[in-house]
Amino acid sequence: MTAPETIGVQEAIDLLQEAVAFFDADGMIAATNESFRAAYGGIREYIRRGSSWEIFLLEAERHDILVRETCQALRLAEDMLAQGRPAPAPVEHASGDDDAFLIRLKPLSNGGFAMIQTEVVDQRARADSDRMAELLMSKVLEACPANLTMSRIGDGQILYRTPAATELLGAVRNSRDHFARIEERADFVTALLPDAQVDDMRVTGRRRDGTEFPASLSARLIDYLGEEVVVANMTDLSNELELRAELERQKDLAFQSEKMSALGELLASVAHELNNPLSVVVGNATMLGEEDLGESARKRVEKLGAAADRCVRIVRTFLSMARERPLTLSSASLSELVETALDAYQSHSDGSGTTIEVTLPPDLPPVSVDEVQIVQVLLNLLTNAEQAMAEAGVGDRIRISAARVTGSGLVRMTVRDNGPGIPSEIRGRIFDPLFTTKSKGKGTGVGLAFCHRVISAHGGTIQLDRTAQNGAGFLIDLPVAAS
């Protein structure tokens, strides 16, 4: 037996966390470290220097520190070392408290060997920890509101999807079916490959019911079990885009109201300045018409009078635009308002042969309006439609219909003709003050602007019907009267 040559060697092996014992060529313990003595404290008298390998194993088994199978495996390993054969594989030992150890025997240059015991992480605890981690991940993904999918980049085969993704995109097996246009999937893969990521790419998705929707697609390319896999999130932008469109519409309405307010001040000033000189012109034209004039002079006076009368009408229109008188609201029947407007229209219509069809449900609720102003709005729309059809030589029919807007306190009235329609390039300007498409002398450009101002003052809206296939159409929303 040989003890450690110096005290420094003993101190060194005591620093090791692993349990270590050195046996000499005769199989006797030459030295142990603190970790070894702690591990086998129950048989401390049998692990002193000079104790034999065999006695150590017998006592370790008798005191249930090592099981019989472990001791037999260690005896076999020691025999292999004694025969000069390669170092055997580590022997795994599990203790009763679920701790696991690896015990290795390593040959020494003096013919002896070292026993090295390494603690392995608690297997059961590790398994429980793994299960808890998997359970947590599963619960997180099941509750995740994002439309996450995991698919192979090569063939598009879906490996996993969250319930939210199934709800939106359906239970299809291939991610290609998430794209309404297959070329967009190719563009997506092309964008993903260089940097292994894509953010907020706009594509057209396909819902579980087959309908298409505008989508934002973000993804990362990862390695999973040796395969390139795409983790993607496709977001439905339908509501967001509708909200943006509504915000733009409200901004346009606010801008339109500001323009109308500024225009009102200008028109009031201009109209008042023109009113007095026009009165002189009209009065003198009337008196000249009563004189005994020649045929040529009489025709000139008639033209002068007609032009003066037109100027007077324009000034009156300007004043009605500028005058912001308070609304006189009352509960009114929409059918009666339409009937009144039709009577006024027919009284001054030029008899162009325009047919007007009215379709109003008998159960329409009354609306809260200023009757005079709403009749004027309807009269303006009817007159505009008739003049547009007559000037273009296209169309001969105007339809008026109405229905209650579901889920709101509004009634929507539609006025639509089958005339030439409104060119797309000017649709955004039709409610602009002084903008007109009529030929010279036929329009002032304040009719639709007036309509817009009146309906807005009622808390309603008037807009171009962009779904009309032929002709022009206007949608007017008015508030239902309180019951």
Give whole-number Cα distances, 226 to 178, 223, 304, in Å.
25, 6, 92
The fold of 144-236 is: Beta-Lactamase (3.30.450)
Give whole-number Cα distances, 175 to 145, 182, 223, in Å.
19, 11, 18
Q: In which residue ranges of the chain is pLDDT below 50?
A: 1, 4, 6, 440-441, 443-445
- The reported pLDDT for the residue numbered 289 is 78
Q: Please, what's the b/e burial string for 387-426 (b: 16 or more CB within 10 A of its CB; e: otherwise)?
A: bbbbeeeebebbbbebeeeeeeebbbbbbbbbbbbbeeee
Rounded to a whole number of angstroms, the CA Rg of the chain reads: 47
- The reported pLDDT for the residue numbered 387 is 86
User: E strands, 207-286, where?
Assistant: 212-224, 227-236
Query: Is the model's pTM score more than 0.85?
Result: no
CB 384 within 8 Å of CB 378:
no
d(CA 111, CA 124): 38
* DSSP state string for 148-167: EEEEETTT-BEEEE-HHHHH
In the chain, what are the domain boundaries?
Answer: 7-120, 144-236, 249-324, 326-483
- The reported pLDDT for the residue numbered 6 is 47
One-letter identity of residue 106: K
- Token representation of residue 343: 């009577």
Nearest to 99 by CA among 71, 122, 76: 122
Residues contacting 206, CB < 8 A, separation 6+: 169, 177, 178, 179, 180, 212, 213
- The reported pLDDT for the residue numbered 421 is 87
For residue 22, give the H/E element and its range: strand 19-23
- The reported pLDDT for the residue numbered 444 is 47
Please check whether the domain covering 249-324 is classified as CATH 3.50.4.
no
- The reported pLDDT for the residue numbered 97 is 56
The structural architecture, per CATH, of the domain 7-120 is 2-Layer Sandwich (3.30)
- The reported pLDDT for the residue numbered 59 is 94
The fold of 326-483 is: Heat Shock Protein 90 (3.30.565)
Decide whether 7-120 matches 144-236 in CATH topology. yes
- The reported pLDDT for the residue numbered 132 is 82
